[in-house]
Amino acid sequence: MAKSTLRYTVLLLTVFCLLLAGGCGDGRRPSYPAGGTVALTDGTPLAGGWVEFELIGDKSVPTARARVQPDGSFQLGTYKDDDGALEGEHRVLVLPPSVPRKRGAEPMLRQEGTPNDTPPVAIDHRYGRFDTSGLTFTVTRDASKNRFQIRLDRR
C-alpha cells in the first residue's frame, strides 16, 4: 500500500506542478523575429519614419512597430523594441518622418544626408493607413522567412 500511495502522491504533485507552470506565463502570445527594408520602387532606401504591422482578424492584440533606420532597415517589436511580431497575416502601414511642410501638403520624406534645399521625396499618402496601403505580410515562427521587402511608390 505504501508504494501505491507514494506513486499517487508523486503523480498528483507532477500534475499540480504542470498546471502551475502553465499558468505562470504572462498570457501574451509569443512574438517571432521579423524585420526587413523599406525603399522606393526604384530601390532607393527610405530613411526614418515608422513601419507598423497589424494582425488581421484580431485587433485585441498589440501592433508591431519599428523605426526605419537611415539605410531603410527595420526590426519589429510588439511588447518591447526588437522582440518581433505575432504569428499570422498582417496589414502594414508606413509613416514617413515628420518634415517641415506647408499646411495641407502630403506626407513627404527627406532622405538622410541631403541638403535642406533638396526637395524631399514624396511618398503616396495611401501607405499611411492600414486600410489603404495594400501592404500585407505573413509572420511565421521561422525567423528566416520574416525578412520583408517593402516597396513604395512615389507620389
Q: Is 64 helix (H, G, I), strand (E, B) or coil?
A: strand
Segment 40-59 mean pLDDT: 94
Pair 92, 53: CB distance under 8 Å: yes
Q: What is the pLDDT of residue 71?
A: 95
Q: What is the pLDDT of residue 101?
A: 52
What are the boundaries of each domain within the chain?
31-152
Q: 58: which residues sit within 8 A by CB, 6+ positions away?
A: 88
Mean pLDDT across the chain? 82
Report how far apart, in Å, the C-alpha atoms of 123 and of each of 44, 47, 91 are.
Answer: 12, 12, 18
| pLDDT at residue 94 is higher than 80 | yes
Per-residue pLDDT tens digits for 17-44: 444 444 446 789 999 999 999 999 999 9
Q: Is 81 helix (H, G, I), strand (E, B) or coil?
A: coil
CATH 2.60.40.10 fits 31-152, yes or no: yes
Phi, psi of 27 (to 5 degrees): 80, 0
Read off the DSSP letter of residue 71.
T
| pLDDT at residue 81 is higher than 50 | yes
Q: What is the pLDDT of residue 10?
A: 47
Distance CA 55, CA 150 (A): 17
